[in-house]
Amino acid sequence: MRLELTGVSVEVAGRRLVHDITLRAGSGRMVGLVGPNGSGKSTLLRCVYRALRPAAGSVRLDGADLHAMDAREGARLLAALPQEAGTEFDFTVAEVVAMGRLPHQRGAGRASAEDTARCARALARVGADHLSGRGFLGLSGGEKQRVLIARALAQDPQVLVLDEPTNHLDIAQQLEVLALVRNGDTSPGGPPGPGPAAGPSPAVAGEESGGRLTVLTALHDLNLAAMHCDELYVLAHGRIVAAGPPYDVLTPELLAEVFGVRAHRVRHPETGALQLLFDRLATPAADS
């Protein structure tokens, strides 16, 4: 399913934080949103997963206006993992994941055998089935993140919106989670080669459509973003300042200008994927 933002501006408390964003994530593509702290990534994503309405512009799924859909219909198509997501009450992990099935249930909603099976598969998919009976609030940050990803996968969406999904995860889990949301594609963004170890099991989300998920994700780690995303959009001060394939976008000039760092670019010796080596802050004095 295609996700398209056209001329989206977002205002919070009367202040325009995000300006005139046009962005496209083609069906099955993984698109990264990168930018410095406070550049507007979360605000833009909140508008995409409907926590905020756009002040101008539209968010469309295969041409249909997401903000004009009823909540249930939208939730069957698009799932989100917000930053600092969590639950206030101490539900069990199984109960948290089961919430992902609510958009598919009628009325008050009783879990069907299929709902239960999908939740179990989603938990297994993120390697968290052993946590099923535990209380959510007692989990570590990384465990919570995996459970919330399982909830999003159990929702069986066609589009996944993630705000810093690798927060709290160790390096192996960061690689695994990003490979996972790509529906089993473990190949990095560069030329074909061996990807991260531990290829995931067959897809949970997207299994009805038979297709890969369309993913829009904010990421702070530029190497992870380059490795996993098909395209990147760079935000600065609420505006897109660059967009395209990672190697084209993450140039030393852009990294100095937008992130204020000096960087060298190398290719991974085995996979060919872009790797950035950061050496110091790019201060005008240092660069002159």
Ligand X SMILES: Nc1ncnc2c1ncn2[C@@H]1O[C@H](COP(=O)(O)OP(=O)(O)OP(=O)(O)O)[C@@H](O)[C@H]1O
Q: Which of 3, 5, 17, 66 binds ligand X (CB under 6 A)?
A: 17
**Which range, of 36-44, 87-95, 97-105, 257-265, touches ligand X by CB under 6 A?**
36-44
Residue from the set 28, 32, 35, 127 that interacts with ligand X by CB under 6 A: 35
- Out of 14, 37, 84, 141, the only residue in the binding site for ligand X (CB under 6 A) is 37
Rounded to an integer, what distance in angstroms lies between the CA atom of residue 77 and that of residue 74? 5
Handedness of CA 179, 244, 212, 166 (dihedral sign): positive
Q: Does 288 bind ligand X (CB under 6 A)?
A: no
Q: Could you tell me the smallest distance in angstroms from the CB atom of residue 257 to ligand X?
A: 16
Tell me the chain's radius of gyration from C-alpha atoms: 19
Select from 19, 41, 118, 151 the one that contacts ligand X (CB under 6 A). Answer: 41
- Tell me which of 7, 12, 137, 280 binds ligand X, using CB under 6 A: 12
For ligand X, the closer of residues 41 and 118 by Cβ is: 41
Lookup result for tokens 């872009």: 274
Choose between 12 and 117: whose C-beta lies nearer to ligand X: 12
**Cα gap 24→20, rounded to integer Å:** 13
Minimum CB distance to ligand X smaller for 12 or for 198: 12
Question: Nearer Cβ to ligand X, position 42 or 183?
Answer: 42
Q: Does 103 bind ligand X (CB under 6 A)?
A: no
Q: Which residues contact 211 (CB under 8 A, 6 or more apart)?
A: 1, 27, 28, 158
3 pairs with which residues across the strands?
25, 61
Alpha-carbon separation of residue 30 from 25, 133, 143, 181 (angstroms) = 7, 32, 23, 9
212 counts as binding ligand X under rule CB under 6 A: no
Nearest residue to 163 (alpha-carbon basis) of 261, 275, 40: 40
Cβ 12 to ligand X, closest distance in Å?
4
Is residue 32 a contact residue for ligand X (CB under 6 A)? no
Of the candidates 9, 39, 183, 217, which one interacts with ligand X according to CB under 6 A? Answer: 39
Please identify which residue in the block is written with the tokens 């997963």. 49
DSSP labels, 158-187: SEEEEESTTTT--HHHHHHHHHHHTTT---
The reply on whether position 14 binds ligand X by CB under 6 A is: no
Binding site for ligand X (CB under 6 A): 12-13, 17, 35, 37-43
